[in-house]
Structure 1
Amino acid sequence: MTYVTAGKEYARDSRYLTTRITADGRDGFPVEPGRYRLVVSRACPWASRAVVVRRLLGLEEALPMAVAGPVHDERSWTFDLDPGGRDPVLGIERLQEAYLARDPGYDRGITVPAVVDVPTGKVVTNDFARITIDMSLEWTAFHRPGAPELYPAALRPEIDAVNEVVYADVNNGVYRAGFAGSQEAYDAAYARLFARLDELSDRLARSRYLVGDTITEADVRLFTTLVRFDAVYHGHFKCNRRKLTEMPVLWAYARDLFQTPGFGDTVHFGHIKQHYYRVHSDINPTGIVPAGPDLSGWLAPHEREVLGGRPFGDGTAPGPVAPGERVPAVVP
């Protein structure tokens, strides 16, 4: 598979299926517990946002999850982790089948996360930025008792503003560096990435969380990039001014979130490394997956409590991870 176009900067295809699942069903898809299936890969940072938010809000029973394997080919993500290589609910081998059921002429990316309507087997949406917001705003009838407010009305303008620059320069910025097809494109992406990380570090030196004094959607979005930084982005994507572990404020912030129920207990470092180093064959043609980095530091004390803040606001932490959704511990 080819991800780099020689002489060109990387441009993400952002043509998503934007149909929404809402409480009033105005797009034809009302919120109904058990009707939909959230398809993810734990390797993917965009899908990992949905996994974290779903767990924080307690939507595990209302919105069941299918986990695709960490690698894919030109056609699609596959369900090779399931017996017989088929999702046990949708009965399909490839996520592509659900996209083609929605649109036989579908010619865009077969991406995760995707929400599939189980009765029809059709993808409803793969609009990853909207999926997590709608989990917060449209699925409220099925939130667990004590679920946090991840997108509070009073803070939405600030959350949106933070999310916009974090997406452009960090979430997508690492890809713009890693998939750059020219030195100039790489240099520009690298500079933007680290300038923004420096700004975020300054902000987080004064505040435990990005917006307000509780975890919000903004923290979820930054976390899923930071948790992959040393494992894949630093080396594989050449984002190597410093490792995350060499950026004291961001490293402590990331550890704080990782050790918060709902974050680190959704992260599968094995899947992350398998995906990036095996799938991106044009920038890692040997397919060799590095043995490192050492993950034990993720459990080291972060001392961010001195900044105050209440992770879940007036809510509570989610309970234990469901047995079928557990990930390997970073330190066995």
Structure 2
Amino acid sequence: MSENEEHSTGGVYSVKGKEFTRDSRYIETRIMAEPRAGTDDYPVEPGRYRLVAAYACPWANRSIIVRDVLGLQDVISLGTPGPTHDSDSWTFDLDPDGLDPVLGIHRLKEAYERRFPGYPRGITVPAMVEVETGQVVTNDFAQITEDLFFQWKAHHRPDAPDLWPAELRPEMRDVMRRIYTEVNNGVYRCGFAGSQEAYDAAYDRLWTAMDWLEERLASRRYLMGDAITEADIRLFTTLVRFDPVYHGHFKCNRQKLTELPNLWGYARDLFQTPGFGNNVDFDQIKQHYYVVHTDLNPLSIVPKGPDLSGWGTPHGRG
């Protein structure tokens, strides 16, 4: 990605001399249990859709985790592009012959083009694709996971967690909004800053939020109390990438995650919870960032470290 070029597969802008800005325009079509009249809503229907989501991407990783913890594996199939891609599209490098075995496509762009010929924006993951038509339905990552909880509830496993407790939703939305702007997107604001001034401001904003989270988690096991919610999933996918990628590659290097006792214990607690750590692939994560971001890492050399064995150690937060 050059200094003045849109990163088409990631939906981000990095312009020399300016603050990083994310292109947050997504396909807003919904998959609804009861499609609304006069809209282009699609109906909830087991087997009708395929979630295309790369393990390497934090925005996609959260949809993989939500699908898993809610028990939707047999209801919505999963297609996983490889960790690297070109400037045009995510590709199915991990599948035989580079072909998604269900959709029969080599490039995710094909699903976008089937519904929107000449689609003008980034080919992003996660994306929900209708299997029969091969057309993308939506790539609105935040709405996808929310709808997996609310719209697909009839298909959740019997003991699925309540990721959106009714009494906590107002505060939870505030917490998630701050996590998105200051942490999930904040690390990118550091990594793709277009000037020293933009980087310095982004760094300070990120660490103000990290300090807030460290303090918040001193008095509660999870972000909203004693049970896991979607807020935790949204934070986790950034935390699990922090030391392998964001600390060095994005220059978010005041401290490592392992040096923040509450956040590090909390992250390990989640990692060791079914649905979380089993959906993390550190090799793919590192390959994605260090190989794709040639503006930040021109030689695409992937570091061997850091030592990630600590993720399996006791977290002490039970």
Q: How many residues in Structure 1 have an aligned counterpart in Structure 2?
A: 305
Do the aligned residues in 2 keep the contact of 1:162 with 1:218 (CA within 8 Å)?
yes
Measured in 2, the distance between the counterparts of 1:24 and 1:287 equals 47
| Structure-to-structure mapping, 1:132-211, within 5 angstroms | 132-211=145-224
- Does residue 266 (structure 1) correspond to residue 279 (structure 2)? The answer is yes
- 1:59-70 matches, cutoff 5 A: 59-70=72-83
Among 94, 101, 115, the residue aligned to 2:114: 101
Which residue number in structure 2 is paired with residue 252 of structure 1? 265
Correspondence list, 1:1-332, <5 A: 1-2=1-2, 4-26=14-36, 27-305=40-318
Matches of 1:79 and 1:299, distance apart in 2: 30
User: Secondary structure of 2:80's partner?
Assistant: strand
Q: Secondary structure at the match of 1:37?
A: strand
Q: Tell me the secondary structure at the aligned position of residue 92 of structure 1.
A: coil
Tell me how far apart the structure 2 counterparts of residues 271 and 123 of structure 1 sit (CA, whole Å): 24
- Contact kept in structure 2, 1:176 and 1:189, CA below 8 Å: yes
Aligned AA (1:49):
R
SS in 2 for 1:304: coil
Contact 1:46 1:113 survives alignment (8 Å): yes
CA distance in 2, matches of 1:253, 1:234: 18
What is the TM-score normalised by the length of structure 2? 0.95
1:59-110 deviation line (CA, Å, top 9, x unaligned): 0010100000000111100011111111011110000010111111211110
RMSD of Structure 2 on Structure 1 (CA): 0.8
- C-alpha distance after superposition, 1:274-309 (max 9, x if no partner): 00000000010010000011111001111011xxxx
Report percent identity of matched pairs: 67
Separation in 2 of the partners of 1:166 and 1:141? 29
Once the two structures are TM-superposed, the CA of residue 152 in structure 1 deviates from its matched residue by 1.7
Task: Indicate if the aligned counterparts of 1:19 and 1:124 stay in contact, CA closer than 8 A.
Answer: yes
Q: Do the aligned partners of 1:49 and 1:132 also contact (CA within 8 Å) in 2?
A: yes
Query: Is the 1:171–1:222 Cα contact (8 Å) retained in structure 2?
Result: yes
Unaligned runs of 5+ in 1: 306-332
Q: Distance in 1 between matches of 2:314 and 2:268?
A: 8
Asked if structure 2 preserves the Cα contact closer than 8 Å seen for 1:155 and 1:212, the reply is no
Residues 243-300 of structure 1 show CA distances to partners (whole Å, capped at 9, x for unaligned) of 0011111001100100111111100000000000000000100100000111110011
Q: How far, CA to CA, are the matches of 2:121 and 2:201 in structure 1? A: 27
1:146 alignment partner, SS class: coil
**How far is the alpha carbon of 1:25 from its aligned partner?**
2.4
